[in-house]
Chains A and B, each alone.
Chain A
Amino acid sequence: MSSENIVMEQVLVNGLYLGMQYALIALGLTLIFALMNVLNFAHGQLYVVGGFITYIIYGKLGLPFFVAIVASGVTLGLVGAVIEKFLFRPVIRKSVREESTMLLAAAIAFFLDAIILLLFGEKQRGVPKILDGVMNLDFVVIMPYDRILIAALAGSAVVTFILFMQYSKPGRAMRALAQDRIAAQLMGVNVDRYSMIGFALGAMLAGVAGGLLVSIVGVNSGIGGPVSIKAFMMVMIGGAGVISGAIAGGFILGMLESIGLTVLVAYGDLTYLVIFVSLMIFLSIRPQGLMGKPWG
């Protein structure tokens, strides 16, 4: 495609849409890192479980999409709470080495991969469209209505999460934990309780993202690993453990993809090559990411 054919409005809209879904995926990962200093390699697998729950409830049982999304979020929240209480908490208590939690997270990812394949099979799964029709603004911007709705729902989830973290008591407690765990404990914050709530919330966000996106891209049992990698990229761009950084990282990655896939199309698949090279250069200059603190 020649550059004169590029419709920048379409590129920007695609970038915003991608950014919205990416931000939602990355939020949970960065929350867990902020609270517990845990790199949750199983984040993508939690996303996949959320997708399959929506697939079963909406796609197979025929219940409303909204019910399926709530079920995905609640179920993953419970799964997250159980994982934190019975797996991460004992490991964090007994081991001062950070790699212990990393290995545990990797083990959970492999375990969930096997369980997901066991329960849901190897096939790609999809659900009926939640909205028919396409918005076509004189062929300058084309966007199916269901993508617009999903972007709006993802945006609402992000805003709700930010408000929760900003103004609710658990949100404030978790922010205090993220800033200084020991100081928060000295101020009376129940570390165990809010760590569990935080992990549950992170898992819930992954589940909601999976549930929302199954209506657009479907889901399959092997996609968890690649989703985790992409989520880590966003978190690294924005700054690990910083909520606003994850959102920024999601939008930056979405926009880079959208622009790259359009502008670089004539040169083959250079988009991700360029993104990865840019990320390496960026991290070598600013290893803490855009909004992260150099001291962690």
Chain B
Amino acid sequence: MFVNSFSKYAGLKASLMTAALALTSVHSPITLAANEVLKIGFVGVTSGPAASWGISNQRSMEAGAAIINDNGGVKIGSVTYDLEIVSFDDQKDPKRAIAGMEKMAQENIHYVVGPNVDDGAAAVRPVAEQNDIIYFPYAFPKSLYQKPASNAVLGMVANYQSGPAIYKFLKDNNGVNTVAFIAANESDPLTQRESGVAAAEALGLKVVSKTVTYQVDTTDFSPVIIPIVKLQPDLLVLSGVAPANAPQIIRSARELGFKGLISTETGQDAQVLQEGAGSLANGFISVGGASTPTIRTKNMEAFIARYTEMFGEYNDESNTKVYALEYIVETLKANPAAINNVDEFKKTMDTFSAPNQYLKGDQVLRYVGMSSFGQRRQLSIPLVVNVYNEGKFETLFIAEVD
């Protein structure tokens, strides 16, 4: 993009694609190939302050599809398909999310990634269920994934799964005893704060502050953060923090003299932390997927290279978001009858297993969620907990959700 490579043709091309997206909300990249076309949908936020969440989703899907298409497509049963990603910007508005899901239904799309936030994911549920659409939200309400719901599949590790693991690790290894929470005054972060507080209290940690909130358009976090800095908790949790806000909060806290640890359960971007907080962000703990060079495979490196080539710069949030398209494609390969039949897809989810091509070792792709939801309605994304240090992430520990 303009920021990183002023004259890069690839960046310009990506920019023009983004412009078309921004101006029309709906776009369908043209695919010219002999193969049949399999459309996969995306409904999420690609404009406004939270654009980073959805754009990293959409671009991960487009980069993943480009790699597959360049390799001749994907063979599902006896038919080879090229992938086409059909995207819709819901502008973080539930009404538009519904319109987006209806658009997917009109295009006879059965597999949709998104939406990115709780209210959007809840809003599209009736449309998805009535139109035989399996969708992969990045939203945490358990009701979406518990019976009688059956069409939503959580696309990432929920904060009520990662939070307890992080707090326990920090309690055992860093002597954390007191914790404070801060959240944006929006539904997702506030919900995540509540579950974070419950998890911390269940572990025996003393929650010294859980009422501090901020507006997403805050231009100076000093007044917001001072009440917490004065309490000097061992751990400050930024519940559901957007990548745009994380460096600002970290910077304000550190400049005002906060000495404890800072963590979040959302994915972050190392470059954003570097630019926004510099070395003040050192030690910041966040959650990622195939996020560090020590744990990712050459296929992941190739994905990052392709993403960068197409869009000018990589977004570390895609370390988690690379997986949704992979799961859809691999599950369809495992049961070709699911291509137009979501009931077949659901049956396959119970037994599905495939190698994880993005992480070193013997990690596998499988559907999980029995503990949290009572049914397999979650992608098994490795819970990779990172610590930021001088411009890059280092793996703190890896865990799994069951």
Smallest CB gap from A221: residue in B: B51
Q: Any chain A CB within 8 A of the CB of B353?
A: no
Q: Any chain A CB within 8 A of the CB of B52?
A: yes
Question: What chain B residues lie within 8 Å of A220 (beta carbons)?
Answer: 49, 51-52, 244
Residue of A124, A144, A261 near B223 (CB, 8 A) is A261
Question: What chain B residues lie within 8 Å of A10 (beta carbons)?
Answer: 226
Question: What chain A residues lie within 8 Å of B2 (beta carbons)?
Answer: 56, 119-121
Q: Tell me the minimal C-beta distance from A279 to chain B in angstroms.
A: 15
Question: What chain A residues lie within 8 Å of B231 (beta carbons)?
Answer: 1
Question: What chain B residues lie within 8 Å of A115 (beta carbons)?
Answer: 19
Q: Any chain B CB within 8 A of the CB of A14?
A: yes
Rounded to whole angstroms, the CA-CA distance of A227 and B272 in the bound complex is 21
Contact A1 B230 (CB under 8 A): yes
Contact B213 A126 (CB under 8 A): no
Q: Any chain A CB within 8 A of the CB of B55?
A: yes
Q: Any chain B CB within 8 A of the CB of A152?
A: no
Q: Any chain B CB within 8 A of the CB of A217?
A: yes
Rounded to whole angstroms, the CA-CA distance of A261 and B224 in the bound complex is 6
204-219 of chain B: CB within 8 A of chain A: 209, 211-219
Smallest CB gap from A225: residue in B: B48
Question: What chain B residues lie within 8 Å of A265 (beta carbons)?
Answer: 211-212, 227
Q: Any chain A CB within 8 A of the CB of B402?
A: no
Question: What chain B residues lie within 8 Å of A87 (beta carbons)?
Answer: none
Q: Any chain B CB within 8 A of the CB of A284?
A: no
Rounded to whole angstroms, the CA-CA distance of A70 and B243 in the bound complex is 29
Contact B47 A127 (CB under 8 A): no
Q: Any chain A CB within 8 A of the CB of B283?
A: no
Whether A127 touches B275, Cβ cut-off 8 Å, given contacts A21-B220, A117-B22, A121-B313, is yes
Of the candidates B209, B255, B277, the one having the most CB atoms from chain A within 10 angstroms of its own CB is B255
Question: What chain A residues lie within 8 Å of B209 (beta carbons)?
Answer: 1
Smallest CB gap from A14: residue in B: B223
Smallest CB gap from A144: residue in B: B255
Contact A120 B23 (CB under 8 A): no
Q: Any chain B CB within 8 A of the CB of A182?
A: no
Residue of B19, B220, B221, B224 near A114 (CB, 8 A) is B19
Contact A113 B244 (CB under 8 A): no
Q: What per-residue 1/0 map shows which CB atoms of B230-247 lie under 8 Å from chain A? A: 110000000000011101
Rounded to whole angstroms, the CA-CA distance of A123 and B55 in the bound complex is 10
Q: Any chain A CB within 8 A of the CB of B114?
A: no
Contact A124 B243 (CB under 8 A): yes
Contact B247 A123 (CB under 8 A): no
Q: Tell me the minimal C-beta distance from B251 to chain A in angstroms.
A: 8
Rounded to whole angstroms, the CA-CA distance of A124 and B223 in the bound complex is 21
Question: What chain A residues lie within 8 Å of B226 (beta carbons)?
Answer: 10, 14, 142, 262
Q: Tell me the minimal C-beta distance from B8 to chain A in angstroms.
A: 12
Q: Tell me the minimal C-beta distance from A184 to chain B in angstroms.
A: 36
Q: Tell me the minimal C-beta distance from B312 to chain A in angstroms.
A: 7
Contact B276 A272 (CB under 8 A): no
Rounded to whole angstroms, the CA-CA distance of A217 and B16 in the bound complex is 28
- In the complex, 21 of the A-B residue pairs with CB atoms within 8 angstroms, ordered by the A residue number, are A18-B223, A56-B3, A117-B47, A120-B1, A122-B52, A124-B52, A125-B272, A126-B272, A126-B275, A134-B256, A217-B219, A217-B248, A221-B51, A225-B48, A226-B49, A257-B223, A261-B214, A261-B224, A265-B211, A265-B227, A269-B215
Q: B interface vs A, CB < 8 Å?
A: 1-3, 15-16, 18-19, 22-23, 46-52, 55-56, 185, 209, 211-224, 226-227, 230-231, 243-245, 247-248, 255-257, 269, 271-272, 275-278, 312-313, 315
